């Protein structure tokens, strides 16, 4: 990783409209924890109740595919919700859409735990996914409103300690709780997290994109539409053009495809660890926990590195390690190595993302100043969309074949590495 001493003095990114809040001190711990919780709500809602799907089949008199539709509905909703709440928060402010979305999410969560039929469960899960996306997309926008450059990367990396670890921890927790409390009990836990998120949002999340900021951004966009060549702080290119700019697209692709390698691993992990490696539930949980711990530790290190190294350099290093782990995993599969050996490179595949997720998000959001909601929306849409594509691909070879997982992770990691290499940002 190329070292570059970074000025610890907060800076405003080039082209930020005059008066835009920028790096105004250190982010408060309650706000950071609230945003981290909001980013973890959706992963818990998808992964926590997975071990309870067989119980849904019996209780609601349906088939396995019918029960799995409740998961598909949530993922579709979460992807759609990103593109609804992101632009909406650019137009109406962050706090109102966040509170509305979180309230509806809570009500739908209660409904899912009480649902008497499969189709009501699927309908509520769809709405739950749409409204659950509000916390994720607006949480990133709040960070981008207040912080830029290294401070934004630091805050986002700290958020990833919770948000990034949640998809890894939730299936393990669900597997230990499914028998004692059942699938409805798991969904009551999801509702409890929704209530906590709503209370914390009411208490700790301020309005960071108020009328003054929105008016100033509208004026800047209008000026840019009249004079596309303008590059001053008061006349930035329109939002759509910035979302298709090279800095934003490359950073977003690096984030989304990097995240896809982890989601491919999570989707394949039950058959990989238990069927192929022959591990028991406890051993499976321990390996899952190990990867989560490494991801958490690397995210903590990444947060502290933002003031010493360039954000892009840290993300490149993380994706490089990710690709190396994927290549080793694929080689072990190719030579038919002992199945248990496959667990070693996966630690690097997952753990390295601690250097990637927060930093790549910061690079993407920094490229679209003044339209953080829309930028966060597209980033989240790709994140969930690609995760939804990767999940079925890893099982194409059956329960005893790790080759589809290796290929899926390899394609995703290569694209992520090419994207971050093409990212032109200097931060």
**Predicted confidence (pLDDT) per residue in 21-30, tens digit:** 444 446 688 9
Interval 297-347: pLDDT, tens:
898 888 888 778 888 999 999 999 999 999 999 999 999 999 999 999 999
Residue 392 binned pLDDT confidence (cut-offs 50, 70, 90)? confident
pLDDT at 266: 82
pLDDT given for residue 11 in this prediction: 40
Task: Report yes or no on 349 lying in a domain.
Answer: yes
User: 88-92, 111-115, 248-252, 320-324: which range is least confident on average?
Assistant: 88-92
- pLDDT at res. 67: 83
404: Cα within 13 Å, side-chain hemisphere: 19
Report pLDDT for 132.
93
Q: For 247-288, what is each residue's pLDDT tens digit?
A: 899 999 999 999 999 988 987 887 788 788 888 767 777 787
For position 130, what pLDDT does the model report? Answer: 94
Owning domain of residue 43 = 29-217+239-422
Would you say the C-alpha torsion 87, 89, 93, 94 has a positive or negative sign?
negative
**Gap between the Cα atoms of 23 and 149, Å rounded:** 8
CATH number at residue 135: 1.20.1250.20
* pLDDT of 4 strictly over 60: no
Q: Is residue 14 part of a domain?
A: no
Count of CB atoms situated within 10 Å of the CB of 286: 13
Q: Give the global pTM.
A: 0.78
Number of domains comprising the chain = 1
Residue 224 lies in a domain: no
Burial of 28 (0-12, 13-18, 19+ CB in 10 A): exposed
More confident residue, 216 or 244: 244
The band of 10, judged by pLDDT with boundaries at 50, 70 and 90, is very low
Report if residue 16 sits inside a domain: no
| Reported confidence tier of residue 114, pLDDT bands at 50, 70, 90 | very high
- Residue 133 in any domain: the answer is yes
**352 occurs within a structural domain:** yes
CA 264 to centroid of chain Cα atoms: 14
Query: Higher confidence at residue 268 or residue 408?
Result: 408
Residue 6, in any domain of the structure: no
pLDDT category of residue 57 using cuts at 50, 70 and 90: confident
Instruction: Specify whether the CB–CB gap between 100 and 157 falls below 8 A.
Output: no
Distance CA 344, CA 277 (A): 12
Mean pLDDT over 102-108 rounds to 97
Ranking 115-129, 190-204, 339-353, 383-397 by mean pLDDT, the lowest is 383-397
**What's the pLDDT score for residue 7?**
36
């Amino acid at each position: 990783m190329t070292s570059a001493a970074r000025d610890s003095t907060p800076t405003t990114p080039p082209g930020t409209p005059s008066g835009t809040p920028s790096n105004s001190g250190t982010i408060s711990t309650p706000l950071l924890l609230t945003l981290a919780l909001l980013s973890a709500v959706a992963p818990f809602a998808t992964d926590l109740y997975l071990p309870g799907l067989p119980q849904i089949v019996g209780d609601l008199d349906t088939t396995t595919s019918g029960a799995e539709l409740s998961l598909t509905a949530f993922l579709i909703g979460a992807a759609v919700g990103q593109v609804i709440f992101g632009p909406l928060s650019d137009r109406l402010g962050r706090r109102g859409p966040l509170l509305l979305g979180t309230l509806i999410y809570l009500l739908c969560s209660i409904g899912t735990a009480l649902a008497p039929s499969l189709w009501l469960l699927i309908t509520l899960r769809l709405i739950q996914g749409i409204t659950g996306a509000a916390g994720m997309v607006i949480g990133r926008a709040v960070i981008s409103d207040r912080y830029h450059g290294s401070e934004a990367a630091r805050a986002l990396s700290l958020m990833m300690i919770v948000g990034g670890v949640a998809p890894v921890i939730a299936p393990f927790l669900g597997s230990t709780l499914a028998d004692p409390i059942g699938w409805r009990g798991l969904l009551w836990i999801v509702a409890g997290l929704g209530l906590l998120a709503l209370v914390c949002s009411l208490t700790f999340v301020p309005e960071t994109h108020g009328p003054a900021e929105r008016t100033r951004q509208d004026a800047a966009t209008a000026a840019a539409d009249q004079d596309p060549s303008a590059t001053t702080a008061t006349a930035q290119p329109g939002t759509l053009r910035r979302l298709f700019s090279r800095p934003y697209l490359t950073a977003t692709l690096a984030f989304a495809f990097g995240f896809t390698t982890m989601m491919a691993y999570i989707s394949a992990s039950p058959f990989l660890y238990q069927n192929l490696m022959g591990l028991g539930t406890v051993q499976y949980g321990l390996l899952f926990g190990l990867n989560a711990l490494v991801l958490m530790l690397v995210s903590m290190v990444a947060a502290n590195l933002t003031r010493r190294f360039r954000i892009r350099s840290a993300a490149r290093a993380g994706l490089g390690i990710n690709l190396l782990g994927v290549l080793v995993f694929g080689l072990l599969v190719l030579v038919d190595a002992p199945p248990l050996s496959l667990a070693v490179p996966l630690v690097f595949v997952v753990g390295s993302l601690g250097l990637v997720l927060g930093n790549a998000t910061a690079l993407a959001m920094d490229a679209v100043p003044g339209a953080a909601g829309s930028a966060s929306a597209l980033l989240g849409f790709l994140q969930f969309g690609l995760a939804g594509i990767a999940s079925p691909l890893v099982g194409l070879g059956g329960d005893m074949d790790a080759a589809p997982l290796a290929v899926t992770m390899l394609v995703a990691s290569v694209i992520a590495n090419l994207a971050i290499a093409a990212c032109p940002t200097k931060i």
